[in-house]
Amino acid sequence: MTIARSTRVLATAALLFVVLAACSDSNGDPATSDSTSTTSPASATTPPTESQKAASVAEAKLREYFAVRNRLRQDPSQSFGALKRIAISTELTAQQRLFEKARRDRVHQTGETRIAELKVRNINLDNSDPQAGKVPVVQIDVCYDVSDVDLVNEDGQSVVSADRPETGWIRYTVANYEWDSDPDGAWRVASGQDIERTPCAAL
**In-domain check, residue 83:** yes
Residue 43: what pLDDT?
57
Q: How far is Cα 66 from Cα 189, in angstroms, rounded to an integer? A: 10
The yes-or-no verdict on residue 114 having pLDDT over 60 is yes
Range of the domain at 184: 3-15+49-194
**In-domain check, residue 41:** no
Q: How far is Cα 108 from Cα 69, in angstroms, rounded to an integer? A: 11
- Average pLDDT of the segment spanning 140-145: 98
What is the count of structural domains for the chain?
A: 1
**In-domain check, residue 124:** yes
* CATH classification of the domain holding 136: 3.10.450
**In-domain check, residue 157:** yes
**In-domain check, residue 44:** no
**In-domain check, residue 54:** yes
pLDDT in tens, 173-200: 999 999 999 999 999 999 999 999 999 9
The yes-or-no verdict on residue 25 having pLDDT over 70 is no
Between the CA of residue 196 and those of 75, 95, 170, 199, what are the distances in Å? 32, 22, 9, 9
The answer to whether the CB of 93 falls within 8 A of the CB of 2 is no
pLDDT in tens, 43-94: 578 999 999 999 999 999 999 999 999 999 999 999 989 999 999 999 999 9
